Amino acid sequence: MPLGAHHVRTSVAVADIGRAVAFYEGRLGLRPLWTGPSATIPDGGRVYESGGGPALNVYQSATAGQTAATLATWYVDDLDSVVGELTEAGVEFARYEGLVHDAKGITPRAGGGRIAWFRDPDGNTFAVEADR
């Protein structure tokens, strides 16, 4: 059976699950669906809900923050409102050399629309984007 017939989630390695919980739950407002061990670390993993189902696995690991690539993107209807709410919650948006960002850190997206990037405490990169 092809993988395209199955749901997929992204997994994110973090160095300290307590610090990650404060960020993902406290700043991003994600709701944990499951809490459990990560390898040999009791209570070292979380599965967070987004969009009505499980969407993000966060687990404590020595490999935390070792990629500069965007790990997940949230597609939203009102990018300005979402960026504003996240900024108020203490999320800092990244600015990349060579791109034009507005005052909120939003930049035009290739192919149309707009996008803004942010990082978790371990440097894992995420985005929020909209078609307008």
Strand pairing partners for 126? 72, 118
Tokens 């979380």 appear where? 46
pLDDT 10s digits, 86-129: 999 999 999 999 999 999 999 999 899 999 999 999 999 999 99
In the predicted structure, residue 16 carries a pLDDT above the cut 70: yes
Distance, in Å, from the CA atom of 114 to the CA atom of 108, rounded to the nearest integer, reads 4
- Compute CA distances 21 → 2, 37, 96, whole Å: 34, 14, 27
Neighbours of 46 (CB within 10 A): 24
In the predicted structure, residue 132 carries a pLDDT above the cut 90: no
Closest by alpha carbon to 93, among 104, 85, 102? Answer: 104
Give the whole-number percent of the chain exceeding pLDDT 70. Answer: 99
pTM of structure:
0.92
Q: Determine whether domain 3-130 maps to CATH 3.10.180.10.
A: yes
Map residue 106 onto helix, strand or coil.
Answer: coil
- Does residue 70 contact residue 124 with C-beta atoms inside 8 Å? no
Strand pairing partners for 117? 127
